[in-house]
Structure 1
Amino acid sequence: MPVTEPGTGPVEVRSPAGDRASSGRGVPGPATPTALRVVPTATAAQGDPSRTSAGTGAGPGGDVVEDGFPAFVEQNLTEFWRLAHLITGDADDADDLTADAMLTAWLRWPRVCRSRSPVAHVRRIVITLAERRVRRTRRERARFTLLLPEALTATTPGPDTPGIVDLRRELRRLPRGQRNCLLLRHGLGLSEAETAATLGISVGTVKSQTSKASTRLRRRLAVPVVDGDTTSRRGC
């Protein structure tokens, strides 16, 4: 899909076909390790923002961007896909959202690579796009239920267990800030500092929001607190 930005040459967003790889946790990964790329076309050599002087070296936060946007995508694509999948719960949606986020990041690349943390900047793009997709899906399901309520009552075989369904439902019921902190900290495995940088909040707020989200989920899902659980302890 060729895309042209004023003042730059066109780029092509490629999503080659391939079998899904496993993330090792029972969750499918992107179609291929390099499935979603933004590749400058030959005519964009002079105008590709990922190859300007602003796109070389390292970002202020230490994220490596010295090889430009294509290398940045190669290094971080899997993480961005996992984040999209955590929010939407759907592998196909995660593929689409990751591709959209990479295109958005390329168009904003001079600004992205000058940010304190380019990776955190693109995580925010993924979160924004994923939340929009979730809201749109909810509206579509609500309309569908009004038209054909019996269609959603039939049981169909699938990979989800009742526990997974309950967890996804309760995650969506959490306030936005609590949900994002919980997903980034325990779903994506980011540190408190990385989560704070991604969401643009303080480390203290990350601790508070994560603790509240964990407590609320335990209460709603009736999950007992296991000895040695350090979810809400300082420094976790």
Structure 2
Amino acid sequence: MSEKQQLINAGHYLMSNQLAWGTSGNISARINSNQMIITASGTYMADLGQDDFVECQIDTGQIEGRRKASKETPMHLGIYRQREDAKAILHSSPFYTTLFACSNEPILSELFVETMYYLEDIAYVDYYHPGSQELADAITEQAPYANIIIMRNHGVVVFDDSVSEAQMRLETLEMACRMILKAKESGVQLKKIPQETVKSFLEDSFYKPRKNLNKKFSI
């Protein structure tokens, strides 16, 4: 399946599962070492088609074609330039994740199998206007250190080595945020998995190949 079709499927899935809404958010995929495709400006992810993408050179940022690329293109370029392993980027504003992005509540990773793996590395950047160079620079700075970057009062960007893995990372994040909030509402005390067990899981369980990143997050 082509990268474009994978993104089309992902867009439909995100909208159908309340992981994106309206025309907010943008998604991209690396098609070779120096080219990416990204959703065009103003596209609606529920109705993505073959003509709703713009091709872009990663090193220069040069756009190919007549459609206008998403205003968040500089953010995507920054990630691809910093992370050669990144093959897909999803930016959206899911309800529960965005609620946490608008608060100081911590997002716990020591809850269940998927959170231990997918939420191990989360970075945060301050609020900057969408599409601004300041936001792109902040995201680019944090990209080497995390696979999830929470944008304060905005949303989230996740990236991985495939569209399906990026989608799973985003879905796990939203699930965890919803669980944490529901536990607080219900007075349920969440029991975290001990750190030594988390370490054993990440290093010895062979669940998935662990991404060994530097731990230098801006919180």
- TM-score calculated relative to the size of structure 2: 0.31
Higher share in helix: 1
Identify which of structures 1 and 2 has the higher relative contact order when contacts are C-alpha pairs closer than 8 Å and 6+ apart. Answer: 2
Higher share in strand: 2
